[in-house]
Amino acid sequence: MTDGVAERSRPRDRILETAQDMFHKHGIKGVGVDAITEAAGTNKMTLYRHFESKDELIVECLRATAAKASRIWDEFEAKHPGDKLAQLHAWVQKASELLSADSRGCDMANAAVELTETDHPARRVIKELKEAQREKLVALCRDAGIGQAELLADTLSLLLEGARVSMQSVGAEGPSAQFVRMAESLIASFRAR
């Protein structure tokens, strides 16, 4: 009967997937565990058998989201093997697609905004994962032959981060609409140096 909720996979996977989706759409503090389990076609007890607390579920969701994002990098390498500059342009393209497709921005950044407690377990992993993403982009810029690779990578990072949050406050017609133009002109400018 497969039920449609999540193709009748194991409860833990359904919970994780549903939680990711609901946290993304409604925010972490905007979703209760009851709502998650119901949407996942299971119940609260089962959730607490697999995750010791909501906080641990949050952390696991962030890790899963980061793992998905990490797979995108593999696509770049697959589509443009060895051509790091083409991969950088693909990164810009992919970022712009994410902006068009979804106005709720980056789950990790959003979580950092929502979870203000400085000792929240999720803060550790957010920082780790964001730093790992930064490393990847720096390496991509450097391998693309750009001199000030760190500076370009950081600038592109801030632009994208800003675009993703700007979409949530002013909407898609705001400054974020110019993201591709900004990013491409930046890359060109750094290459010319």
Interface with a copy of itself (CB under 8 A):
25-27, 29-30, 104-105, 108-110, 112-114, 116, 126-127, 130-131, 134, 151, 153-155, 157-163, 165-166, 168-171, 174-176, 178-179, 181-182, 189
Query: CB atoms < 10 A from the CB of 135, how many?
Result: 11
The DSSP output letter for 81 is T
CA–CA dist 165, 170 (Å, integer): 9
Q: Which of 132, 185, 71, 98 is nearest to 79 (CA)?
A: 71
Query: CB within 8 A of 125, min separation 6: which ones?
Result: 59, 62, 63
- When the beta carbons of 57 and 182 are compared against a copy of itself, the nearer one is 182
Largest CA distance in the chain: 61
Residue 56 CB, nearest distance to DNA (Å)? Answer: 8
Contact partner at residue 12 from a copy of itself, DNA, none, CB < 5 to 8 Å by partner kind? DNA
Site for DNA in 39-58 (CB under 7 A): 41-46, 48-50, 52-55
Q: Which residue carries 């089962």 as its tokens?
A: 46
Q: Which stretch binds DNA (CB under 7 A): 34-42, 120-128, 141-149, 183-191?
A: 34-42
- Which positions touch DNA (CB under 7 A)? 10-12, 31-35, 41-46, 48-50, 52-55
